[in-house]
Structure 1
Amino acid sequence: MDASAPTVSDVDWSTDAIIERRDRYYAASQRAFVPYEKPLILKEGKGQYVWDELGNKLIDLLGMNLCISVGHAHPKIIAAVQRQVETLTHCTTMFHHPVPAHFAEELAATMPKGHDWVVHFTNSGTEAIDLALMMARTATGNADIVALRNSYHGATFGAQSVTGIANFRHPVGLLNHISFAAEPNQYRGAFGEGIDPYLQDLRDTIAYTTGGSLAAGLIEPVQGYGGIIPMPPGYLSQAFEIIREAGGLCIVDEVQSGFCKTGENMWGFESDGVVPDIVVMAKGIGNGIPLGAVVARKEVAEPMAGKFLFHTYGANPVACAAGRAVLEVIEEEDLLTNARVVGAALKQRLLELKDKYPLIGDVRGKGFMLAIELVKDRVTKEPATEATARIFEKTRENGLVVSKSGNYKNVLRMVPPLCLSMDDVDDVAESMDKSLSQGGA
């Protein structure tokens, strides 16, 4: 080996070198997902804050795509991971280890009572979606699946196939037997406000675009990448009835809305009092440590026992140790209440900005799932895509990390770690105000 070659402990933190090395060695498919004109390079995180390579501090209102649930570098998560790494880094699912089994028990305990829940750990939420689709088709013997427009469920062949946003669907042949019903978007939905027309569209979608017998219906309680679109009260419960009448199972995608993100319950589906058949979770489950899971009613999961299916690192004990610690931190620090109270205060400040800037067409969301939708005209609701891009760049300059989302890329999405505090609300609101003004709002 060349004595002058860098070792694994050497990291070049110079800005130009980081950008050049990534551009040189990343595949095109991984280079493409860069939202800022100048790449954001992150070096450190603590709680709800991150610092770039030049030492600039930013409030992380994205939670690294919602993966940081209880805060960057949380000491309890660090300790749990260190303890497990020091004893056993990995245990294949062919063998037994108590940590994943404990975590499965603890996740099952968060589900609605009166049912026998089981868990299959995956490496990511996208893999969990693929497994949920396979599980539903195996359990029912049916092929057709209905998802919603404006949805996001992942990037693999299977997950892309049930994603209803063009930006995330590659021009390749995806899975068949997938249909889409209109999402009950109360701001710019196809049928306006209310839920009855959307429920009828779900019925019509089943009647006209499927064989009549469903494997499943797949719904996010709050559409995340679609621009923070909460399912209106009553929609989930009635949609579940329609799906089950067609023989389908009800799958909820809690990858973004789970783990107290809405500030109302541990899981988004609980707000409508429903009991799903399959729950998909990931992102915040491990506070940034790669992990996903499918939690299903046992009778739904059992038909897959005929052939084994595994995900190489799915039940990794280090990741599951982090997951167990996440559940403990949520409980000990009462982060559900924090998301509800601080989220409400932040939403109020965003509503005040709506009164100030006509460019803001809508402020919506709950807890720490919030969004500002920007439009050229409040009557026509024409998306202000170019203005959103300008303002998005200004938010970074003014110390915020947010997301530019929605099918038209005209939504500023805020999904911070659960530890964002009341002390941060003024800073966020003032930085957003400044960004809107500087961006020409």
Structure 2
Amino acid sequence: MASTDVAQSRRVVTEIPGPKSRALQERKAAATAPGVGSVLPVYVDRAGGGIVEDVDGNALIDFGSGIAVTSVGNAAPQVVERASEQLARFTHTCFMVNPYESYVQVCEELNRLTPGRHEKRSLLLNSGAEAVENAVKIARNATGRPAVVVFDHAYHGRTNLTMALTAKNMPYKEGFGPLAGDVYRMPMAYPFRWPGDSRECGPEAARQCIDQITTQIGAQNVAAVLIEPIQGEGGFIEPAEGFLPQLADFCRDNGIAFVADEVQTGFARTGHMFACEHEGVVPDLITTAKGIAGGLPLGAVTGRADLMDAVHAGGLGGTYGGNPAACAAALATMEAIESQGLVERAGRIGETVLARLRALADRHGIIGDVRGRGAMVALELVNGPADSTPNQDAVKRVLRYCHERGLVLLTAGTYGNVIRLLPPLVIGDDLLDEGLSILEEAFEQL
């Protein structure tokens, strides 16, 4: 399943970053906007399967997948083949000028794969933030209402509207205001940090949210309740059981569009094709991007036909939305997920990773919580068993150790104290085991 010319083994031949990467980093500092940072300034030469090779000849185990994008593997052969064939035929016409079949095919597949058997329509865009922004536009237009409800720890993008929807100030919102209005934030059902009994977190948080929506906004004024079924940048927070279904029921009873932001959780990442399927939640609108097209930029909104049909002709679209090469890549990606059984594979990855990390947490009191589903798993680090204060310093030390030994890891969390694992779904068991062993060694060194 991996790219045929990228050996699936870790190799460290220089310090990391190596001399060529450091030279490129100097060029970056002189040429690019400093606001665009890099978690690990190792410059990539090629990648495939579960390996990223850098310009210095190092081969790193990939536990990041470009932030859950290359789920079917980097440069997956079927994705490369389909996208290359399309590029040779035509690169762009703009679907709003001269349409093409592959855009329609992607929409048909999204309508088939997303939760619910109701009639659906889809819209193709360029990114996750653009998908979220258009979902809000659709909900407002269809309901005739202005307000949008979002949640603590949420991340929805970097455009003006999606910054307002996002919870964390630094680095996403600091200095970029004023932001869009009619956005209201509610408490998240975050079991690890719930002030009461964590076993009651789901129903208590749902009651609190519903009460605040009813009394502070008025349900009749709410166009959409927007939520990530597992929060991504906020720290891979799994809402407590029952929270999402209760919110979805409330929305249904009050004519509010329930919008699932599945940009990071979608396309087999969590052991379901979509994370909201875990509790049988059927959203009115669902936003997707990241893992949809094997590394090419594409986003989408899929939703109930009555909502999607409400928008007037010309009210939705964009010059590059549904680019033909990205559509070809998306069709190959969705085919690969189904033909290679990657939903089930993600579930098996989750079983392996969660077992290892829970055993690690038993040995190290600074691991306050292990959570996640499928190939979307996180560790939340704290000061100790009796002190849940976020421990950003330990995260930095663990990442430094892992990066130096050729393991790509990412951070997350409102407090910067979460380590997240997002391996490609095609990663081999040997690489998965080796990467977890490096992570375990890092904690032994603390």
TM-score of Structure 1 vs Structure 2, range by shorter chain: over 0.9
Tell me how far apart the structure 2 counterparts of residues 208 and 174 of structure 1 sit (CA, whole Å): 24
Which of 180, 183, 207 matches 1:178?
A: 183
SS at structure 2 position matched to 1:309? coil
8 Å contact from structure 2 (residues 345, 425) kept in 1: yes
Report the equivalent of 1:21.
27
For 1:169, the equivalent position in structure 2 comes to: 173
Measure how far apart 1:51 and its partner are: 1.4
1:345-379 Cα offsets, whole Å, 9 max, x none, are: 12111111112211111111110010011110222
What is the aligned partner in structure 2 of residue 362 from structure 1?
A: 369
SS at match of 1:20: helix
Residue 50 of structure 1 corresponds to 52
Instruction: Report the 3-state secondary structure (helix = DSSP H, G, I; strand = E; otherwise coil) of the residue aligned with 1:376.
Output: strand
How many matched pairs?
422
1:209–1:170 distance in 2 versus 1, CA, 3 Å: farther
| CA shift digits 1:73-106 (9 cap, x unpaired) | 1111110011100111112112121111111111
* Alignment match of 1:262 (pick from 261, 266, 270): 270
The counterpart of 1:91, out of the listed 89, 93, 97, is 93
Q: Secondary structure at the match of 1:247?
A: coil
Q: Quick one: which amino acid aligns to residue 64 of structure 2?
A: L
Q: In 2 relative to 1, CA 226–192 (structure 1 residues): closer, same or farther, beyond 3 Å?
A: farther
Q: Which moved more, 1:186-195 or 1:251-260?
A: 186-195
CA contact (8 A) 1:398 1:435 kept: no
Secondary structure in 1 matching 2:264? coil
Q: Is the 8 A contact 2:116 2:282 kept in 1?
A: no
Q: Is the 8 A contact 1:404 1:413 kept in 2?
A: yes
The answer as to 2:218 corresponding to 1:215 is: no
Q: Which residue of 2 aligns with 1:201?
A: 208
The 8 Å contact of residues 156 and 162 in structure 2, kept in 1 or not, is answered as yes
Question: Do the aligned residues in 2 keep the contact of 1:145 with 1:179 (CA within 8 Å)?
Answer: yes
After superposition, give the CA deviation of every residue in 1:381-433 in whole Å (9 maximum; x if it has no partner): 11111111111111111221111110111110001111123222320221001
The amino acid that maps onto 2:194 is G
Bigger CA drift: 236-245 or 333-342?
236-245
Separation in 2, partners of 1:327, 1:394: 35
Alignment pair present for 1:285 and 2:329: no
2:20 partner amino acid: S
Unaligned runs of 5+ in 2: 1-18
The alpha-carbon distance between structure 1 residues 320 and 192, as it changes in their structure 2 partners (threshold 3 A), is farther
Q: Which moved more, 1:62-71 or 1:226-235?
A: 226-235
Query: How far 1:283 sits from its partner (Å)?
Result: 0.3
Counterparts of 2:314 and 2:338 in 1: how far apart (Å)? 37
- Is 1:154 the counterpart of 2:157? The answer is yes
CA deviation vs aligned residue, 1:283-329 (integer Å, no higher than 9, x gap): 01011101000011111011212543322211111100000000111
- The aligned residue for residue 394 of structure 2 is 387
Task: Confirm or deny: 8 A CA contact 1:148 1:181 kept in the other structure.
Answer: yes
Aligned match of 2:259? 251
Counterpart CA distance in 1 for 2:253 and 2:196 is: 23
Deviates more, 1:425-434 or 1:290-299: 425-434
AA matched with 1:162: L
Supply the distance in 2 between the matched residues of 1:337 and 1:287 (Cα, whole angstroms): 18
Per the alignment, residue 129 of structure 1 pairs with 132
Answer whether contact 1:161 1:178 (CA < 8 A) is retained.
Answer: yes
- Counterpart code for 1:283: K
Partner of 2:242: 234
Q: If the length of structure 1 is used for normalisation, what is the TM-score?
A: 0.92
Partner Cα separation in structure 2 for residue 355 and residue 57 of structure 1: 31
Q: Distance in 1 between matches of 2:441 and 2:58?
A: 18
TM-score, length-normalised on structure 2? 0.91
Q: CA RMSD in A?
A: 1.6
| Residue 115 (structure 1) aligned with residue 121 (structure 2) | no
What is the one-letter code of the residue matched to 2:243? Answer: Y
Letter in 2 for 1:29: G
Q: Which amino acid aligns with 2:247?
A: A
**Residue of structure 2 in register with 1:7 after alignment:** none
Read off the aligned partner of 2:256 and give its amino acid letter.
G
Kindly state the Cα deviation for residue 190 of structure 1 after the two structures are TM-superposed: 4.4
Q: Which residue matches 1:5? A: none
The letter for the 1-side match of 2:274 is W
In 2, the alpha carbon distance for the partners of 1:204 and 1:402 equals 39
**4+ residue runs of structure 1 moved beyond 6 angstroms?**
none
One-letter code of the match for 1:428?
G
Q: Unaligned stretches of 5+ in structure 1?
A: 1-12
Report 1:386-425 matches (<5 A): 386-425=393-432
**Other-structure match for 2:72:** 70
Report percent identity of matched pairs.
33
Q: By how many angstroms is 1:191 displaced?
A: 4.3
CA separation in 2, counterparts of 1:82 and 1:190? Answer: 53
Structure 1 residues 192, 44: CA separation in 2 closer, same or farther (over 3 Å shift)? Answer: farther
